[in-house]
Structure 1
Amino acid sequence: MRLMDWRGSGMRGSLPSMSRTLGQPTQWGLHYGQLVDAHSKFGRSLGGPDEDPADEAESPAARRHIRQVVTELGQVASFLGEQGLRLTDEATATFLDLVERELGPALTTLGRRAEGDYSPDVRVERHPEFRKAAPEKRAGLSPWSLFEAWVKERKPGDATVNRWRAVMRGLDAFFEGRDIAAITAEDALAWKDTLVTPERSAGVVNDVWLRAARVNFGWALDNKRIASNPFEGVSVAVGKAAPKVREREFEEAEWSIILKATTGPQPGRIAAHNAAARRWVPWLCAYTGSRPGEVTQLRAEDIQHHKAGFWVMKISPEAGAVKGGQARTVPIHPHVIEQGFVEFVQSVGKGPLFYDPNGQRVKRDDPTNPVQAPWVKQRNKLAEWVRDLGVTDTNISPNHAWRHTFKRRAVRAGIEKRIRFAFCGHTSSDVGDEYETPTVEDMAKEMMKLPLFVATQGDSGAL
């Protein structure tokens, strides 16, 4: 019988059966003698069989030697390994000092048991009864596998997956793949403290990094995989906002540069769909306030002639992606039609207007790493092109600024709010507004109030 097992059991089992495992009395006497020798080597007294070792000053060398003997006699290393316990150096030293106090009395008692003496061991009675802690509940998910499970069930948009992918990879690396049920609120705070960097603002940390962790762990909580969400309520302090130096709409000089470039010469080797995107997407955004990605995904069949005599474009999730998943129909301004937009659409015939549907080569089946949609790539190319034209102010977006430009020009032209919202696909918090949703005919009528985009750099007419 091993000493550490005996102390854990309290020797309260079947005594005759245990006697067969206790060995010879001389075995325990020999071990006791080894313990006495370890103490006496350094001039220390072990004390009586039922006494604690004398509390005497000793050198570090003496302590190391005695702890080594205690480890061997008590078979401490194998005991900790079988229990699945890993102790720090400091905790190991404390544990061995405690075992040392019980080792002498335990060896003496085991010797008596081997001789057939099963009288009560009063020393054992002074210790609390050993109760093995219940195993800690595990979720069976690491931060990354949690993200995989969340994506599989919730099926979020590609933009969200791509934005949160780096977050959950970082979380998984920080916790070294630890089970999510073992991540505490204190652990969440420790991770949070590493996130703000010169390249990553507190606002981004709150809006992207901590939100991704909170949503994913919230899903685990809702699905009974964890008892609490350690990221709930965790945030970083956001400093004073940077001063606003300008409005987010294009200034006249900026939109003039872009719209003039749409009719200017293009590089000879540019692909036809890229040239078409430069030619028409800025104009459609300027007169409709649509998101650039909604325009770059348009198909020829989405451009239709309305029975009332005007042209419309249908923005639909069927063509790609629409924020909120709500399709809408938007009239196209006559100024765009006059420039030959319908003729361009008819030349395409069918299919995407601004990207090559056969040009995408990368294929992946990993839902946590979706391939960037071709209309998103085209939107990003347009942003780079606008920057190359000289619209370089980082306080505005080279694409999204068209929405701000449209909304401000529309309000100055006296177009009512519900019409502006309908053009841009914005929703109102007022439930009553749902009863006043404008028709496309209403939108087409109000659209005529918009001022034309007129050149100001050496030109005198509408672009």
Structure 2
Amino acid sequence: MPTPFRPKKASGKEQNVYWIRKKVPARYRALVGQTEVWKSLKTTDRRTANARIVAVSEDLEREWARLALEAKRGPDGRGPVAPLTHQDLFAIQRETHIRIRDAHIAEPGTGFGALRWLALTENQDDPGAEEALDQWAREVLTRELGEPPAEAQVEKLKPLLAEARKGAYGDVFRASTGDFEENKKLGKLPKERTKPKVDIMEAFELYCSQPRIKGGLDGPTAKRWRPVIERFVEWIKHRDLARVTPQDAVRWRDYMISQGIAPKAVRDVWLAAPRSVATHMLNALRLEVNPFAGIKVEGVKAWKEDDERGFDPEQALKILSATVATPSHLMSAEMRAARRWVPWVCAYTGARVNEITSLLPSDVQPILGHWCFVLRPEITKGKRLRRVPVHKHLRDQEFLVYVEQRRKLGKPLFYDPVRARGGKGANPQWQKVAERLGEWVRDTLKITDVQPNHGWRHLWREIVRGTKMKPELCDYMCGHESKSGTGARYGKRKVPVLAKELALFPRFKVPALNRPPAPLKRTRRSPQQIAADKAERAARRAAA
């Protein structure tokens, strides 16, 4: 993350104004026309500049990703267009012939019932036939190109479609007499196209560029799924998503399982990625079917028992007690604060850990007399603004005092942009803070059978079930889709109502809060223990 600076050559009113200076990634430089971008933060206050630079930096990255997407989509913004060549049009004729033939050849009928196919091959003089053929050709080309076709290609495709239909009906009529021999005309038509009908890599980028996909082309979804799509292309040996069949999807599933990939990972990653991309292209009318739809993986439980996903009382007590222990003097102030407060905030809100570690002081504010966490759309999974009241136990522990300290410094609650060491937008500082907290829970506190950060979310829901809190309001506060139907989404969730509901959530009883913090106990590890810990970390990273 860049840091605010004051240009040395500035004069007049701009002399003390802070600016952002951000390098343009190599893949965007041709589009941006610069290797570095300068932009005014429009403030002379260092604390305000520190708060603004985060949003400005993210805006620049989104703008560059938008430019790259528009370049791929073409001047009309209708998606990547692969022009149809002469060979492609004849390949469409072959595909159409086979599709019509295969739809009827299994039961062609006999006798007078079969004569209708012969009549259809000769029914070319109908006054409405020419208009219907023109409409058919336009629909086929529009689906292929993703945009209205040129008149020249429409006129060129029309006789090919008419010939494909006539030949297919002729094949069906021959089948009614017992003649299932392959049509010799098909052997002369091209089986392959010159270019992919739907390039799967371009389709993946279109999918990731949707506003609902967090981070866009550089976000966590793109980062995790891009290697999956690339490996699928390498395995199937072509890039045309339209050529992928359900049989290919089944073989892909079985192949990944044979490689030792866990069935749950096959379902949630290796099948989910191409399925989502295909669904997006199906909705964009670029595909006729989704070959991955309905493909399931056996041996995957729908869910685990609650006590395997959320912390049990002893684990929660151990973590919350450790939050008030004396930290190492080598730890940064922000990381000490993250250990002190993030587990507590997660425990009392049910929020996702990244929603908390990315908080700014301005995200904690009074609303109608109640202090609230304002979770901005850009940091939430569902891209929706949420206002969650601050639990009274957090206020009693003087959490708001810490927020005011960070507000005066003009810095985020749990990270410092000054400490950033570069990196990509897909690995922001607040995500690194969450990862370090997870390592602390696993490696130091030795809680390994539960997701170290997400366990709070499951525990919150488990505790809620034992209270009289309204389910639809609990769904809203923790960012879940309401299970109460459409009616639950009507009306605004007023903050006083939410505060009243959250007051029903019981306090965590942690005796360590009432005792003075114990001095830090430094334990020296033996060389054997150091080697064992390194091996354990390496194995865990390799498994991840």
Cα distance in 2 for partners of 1:240, 1:403 equals 20
Q: 1:460–1:339: structure 2 CA closer, same or farther, 3 Å change rule?
A: closer
Structure 1 residue 442 displacement after superposition: 1.6
- Residue 283 (structure 1) aligned to one of 340, 344, 361: 344
Native 8 Å contact 2:476 2:482 kept in 1: no
Native 8 Å contact 1:256 1:456 kept in 2: no
Which residue of the partner structure matches residue 510 of structure 2? 455
Q: 1:362–1:194: structure 2 CA closer, same or farther, 3 Å change rule?
A: farther
Whether 2:277 is the aligned partner of 1:207: answer no
Which residue of the partner structure matches residue 316 of structure 1? 376
Structure 1 residue 134 displacement after superposition: 4.1
Name which of structure 1's ranges 247-256 and 231-240 shifts more when overlaid on structure 2.
231-240
2:419 alignment partner, SS class: coil
Which residue of the partner structure matches residue 147 of structure 1? 204
Which residue of the partner structure matches residue 466 of structure 2? 412
Whether 2:419 is the aligned partner of 1:359: answer yes
Q: Kindly report which structure 2 residues correspond to 1:99-178, keeping only aligned pairs within 5 A, or say none.
A: 132-134=188-190, 136-137=192-193, 138-139=195-196, 142-152=199-209, 156-157=213-214, 158-178=219-239
Which residue of the partner structure matches residue 267 of structure 1? 328
Native 8 Å contact 1:142 1:172 kept in 2: no
**Residue type of the partner of 2:430?**
W
**Residue type of the partner of 1:233?**
G
Which residue of the partner structure matches residue 192 of structure 1? 253
Q: Kindly report which structure 2 residues correspond to 1:198-237, keeping only aligned pairs within 5 A, or say none.
A: 200-223=261-284, 225-237=286-298
Structure 1 residue 287 displacement after superposition: 1.4
Which residue of the partner structure matches residue 441 of structure 1? 496
Cα distance in 2 for partners of 1:334, 1:181 equals 56
Cα distance in 2 for partners of 1:271, 1:161 equals 31
Cα distance in 2 for partners of 1:229, 1:245 equals 34
Which residue of the partner structure matches residue 424 of structure 1? 478
1:179-203 superposed Cα distances (whole Å, 9 cap, x missing partner):
3344333333322211115752222
Cα distance in 2 for partners of 1:382, 1:153 equals 31
Cα distance in 2 for partners of 1:181, 1:388 equals 47
**Residue type of the partner of 1:270?**
M
Which residue of the partner structure matches residue 164 of structure 2? none
Cα distance in 1 for partners of 2:300, 2:355 equals 34
Cα distance in 2 for partners of 1:263, 1:136 equals 66
Native 8 Å contact 2:223 2:426 kept in 1: no
**Residue type of the partner of 2:477?**
F
1:394-431 superposed Cα distances (whole Å, 9 cap, x missing partner):
2x221112122222323323223233223212232412
Structure 1 gaps of 5+ residues are 1-127, 365-369
Cα distance in 1 for partners of 2:447, 2:439 equals 10
Q: 1:131–1:236: structure 2 CA closer, same or farther, 3 Å change rule?
A: closer
1:254 alignment partner, SS class: helix
Which residue of the partner structure matches residue 434 of structure 2? 379
Q: Kindly report which structure 2 residues correspond to 1:19-58, keeping only aligned pairs within 5 A, or say none.
A: none
**Residue type of the partner of 1:444?**
A
Cα distance in 2 for partners of 1:447, 1:129 equals 73
Q: 1:261–1:197: structure 2 CA closer, same or farther, 3 Å change rule?
A: farther
1:193-252 superposed Cα distances (whole Å, 9 cap, x missing partner):
111157522222122211211221333444455554332333332356797483533222
Structure 1 residue 329 displacement after superposition: 1.1
**Residue type of the partner of 2:189?**
A
Structure 1 residue 457 displacement after superposition: 7.8
Which residue of the partner structure matches residue 404 of structure 2? 346
Native 8 Å contact 2:357 2:434 kept in 1: yes
Q: Which has the larger radius of gyration?
A: 1
Cα distance in 1 for partners of 2:420, 2:379 equals 17
Native 8 Å contact 2:391 2:502 kept in 1: yes
Q: 1:440–1:129: structure 2 CA closer, same or farther, 3 Å change rule?
A: closer
Structure 1 residue 278 displacement after superposition: 0.7
Q: 1:228–1:355: structure 2 CA closer, same or farther, 3 Å change rule?
A: same
Structure 2 gaps of 5+ residues are 1-183, 517-544
Higher helix share: 2
Q: 1:301–1:258: structure 2 CA closer, same or farther, 3 Å change rule?
A: same
Structure 1 residue 159 displacement after superposition: 2.7
Cα distance in 1 for partners of 2:455, 2:413 equals 22
Cα distance in 1 for partners of 2:495, 2:240 equals 53
Native 8 Å contact 1:258 1:389 kept in 2: no
1:102-148 superposed Cα distances (whole Å, 9 cap, x missing partner):
xxxxxxxxxxxxxxxxxxxxxxxxxx789731454442555434323
Q: 1:195–1:398: structure 2 CA closer, same or farther, 3 Å change rule?
A: same
Native 8 Å contact 1:262 1:280 kept in 2: yes
Cα distance in 1 for partners of 2:285, 2:302 equals 39
Native 8 Å contact 2:201 2:239 kept in 1: no
Q: 1:219–1:386: structure 2 CA closer, same or farther, 3 Å change rule?
A: same
Structure 1 residue 331 displacement after superposition: 1.2
Native 8 Å contact 1:196 1:202 kept in 2: yes
1:453 alignment partner, SS class: coil
Which residue of the partner structure matches residue 52 of structure 1? none
Native 8 Å contact 1:139 1:225 kept in 2: no
RMSD: 3.1
Structure 1 residue 299 displacement after superposition: 0.4
Cα distance in 1 for partners of 2:504, 2:270 equals 43
Structure 1 residue 267 displacement after superposition: 1.6
Residue identity (%): 32
Q: 1:142–1:432: structure 2 CA closer, same or farther, 3 Å change rule?
A: closer
Q: 1:154–1:136: structure 2 CA closer, same or farther, 3 Å change rule?
A: farther
